[in-house]
Structure 1
Amino acid sequence: MRILVIGASGTIGRPLCEELGKRHEVIAAGRRGPDAVVDIRSAESIRALYEAVGPVDACICVAESGALDRFETLTEDELLENMRGKFFGQINLVLIGQSFLKDRGSFTLTSGIFADEAWPGVTGGAVISGGLHSFVLSAAIELKRGLRINAVSPTIVADSVEAYAHLFPGMEPVEMDRLIGTYVNCVEGSETGRIHRLYRPAGSADTGFPLG
């Protein structure tokens, strides 16, 4: 398969490209490439990316992370700015990309734990991830030609604990191998409309909850 990975130079993107590259042709994209350049905050840049790389079998987005915010001073403009990349950018990858993916191709988006777990300072992140989950469920029944869509919703990644654990004390990390395996399964599998939660949402039962 030809697989387009957006955010290829990031913490998740690098090992993901390495694993996929063992079996597939990987096109590594991001603000600085290396194979293709894109700014997912711009619909025009996304369209130019698809036109430049040609037909692909899968598009995976691991780019953009939601900014921290302060609820007592949060404004509509700040929320919109926070949503421009991770929310609207990923949605545009699908809305624009549906015309460029090959039949039975797949999209895999990235949301996050704050869709299900309330945490101080991440209202924007919660709105973004919750909205992405709803979008994936709707898109799964709307996409034509056998196109599939899923989302991976991780908690903090074990490889980032040293840098970010102080912001999310007590949050249990997900191991990188498990995270990468989930993205790979989304591409190489056959399911659609699935939210792969790599954590147990607050208030869920101790057993029987699908964890991705």
Structure 2
Amino acid sequence: MKILIIGASGTIGTGITGALSEKHEIITAGRSSGDLRVDITSKKSVKQLFEEAGPVDACICTATSGSMDDFGTLTEMDLLINMKGKLLGQVNIVLIGQHYLNENGCFILTSGIFADRPAKGATGGGLINGALHSFVLSAAVELQRGLRVNVVSPGIIEDSVKDSGPVFPGLRPVAMNGVVDAYVKSIESDISGNIIRVYG
């Protein structure tokens, strides 16, 4: 398969790229690294990415992040800024990419644990991740030409504990291989409309 990985240089993206490159042709993309450049907050950039990549059999997006928030001062604008990338950016990857993926192709998006496990400072994260889950459920019904879409929802990853662990007290880290396996399963099976949770 020919697979486009957006965010391939990140923690999760690096693991996925290593695992899939053993059996598949990989095209990497990112804001500042990879074979191709993309800013997922820009519809024009996303469209250009698919045009430059050419026909692909699957597209994985792990280029997602969002800042923590303070509920007491949280505003609509704060939420919209975070939504622009992690939510609407990934939504546009599917809406635009559906016209470029090969028949029976697959999208795999990335959400996160706060959709299911609320935490202080993560109201925006919960909102965005939950919305991604709802989008995937609906998109799986709407996509044509045998196209599939799934979303992987990881908890905090062991490889990120040193940097991110203090931000997520009480969450058990999950092994990188378990997270990578979730993406590989989504690519190499025929499932669609699945929320694949990998929590500790």
Range of TM-score over shorter length: over 0.9
| TM-score, reference length from structure 1 | 0.93
Please, which moves more after superposition, 61-70 or 143-152?
Answer: 61-70
| Residue pairs, 1:48-127, within 5 angstroms | 48-127=48-127
Q: Distance in 2 between matches of 1:185 and 1:83?
A: 27
Q: Spell out, residue by residue over 1:120-169, the C-alpha distance to the aligned partner (whole angstroms, 9 max, x if none).
A: 00111001000000000000000000000000001001100111111111
Q: Distance in 1 between matches of 2:188 and 2:26?
A: 14
Q: Distance in 2 between matches of 1:98 and 1:44?
A: 15
Q: Distance in 1 between matches of 2:168 and 2:158?
A: 12
Assess if the C-alpha contact under 8 Å between 2:64 and 2:110 holds in 1: no
Question: Counterpart of 2:199?
Answer: 199
Question: Counterpart of 1:157?
Answer: 157
Specify the code of the residue in structure 1 equivalent to 2:16: L
What's the % identity of the aligned pairs?
A: 55
Structure 2: runs of 5 or more not aligned: none
**Runs of 4+ off more than 4 Å:** none
- Give the match's secondary structure for 2:141: helix
Question: Counterpart of 1:208?
Answer: none
Q: Distance in 2 between matches of 1:142 and 1:190?
A: 16
Question: Counterpart of 1:177?
Answer: 177
| Residue pairs, 1:25-40, within 5 angstroms | 25-40=25-40
What's the offset of the Cα at 1:199?
2.2
Specify the code of the residue in structure 2 equivalent to 1:49: L
Q: What is the aligned length? A: 200
Question: Counterpart of 1:10?
Answer: 10
Specify the code of the residue in structure 2 equivalent to 1:172: R
Question: Counterpart of 1:187?
Answer: 187
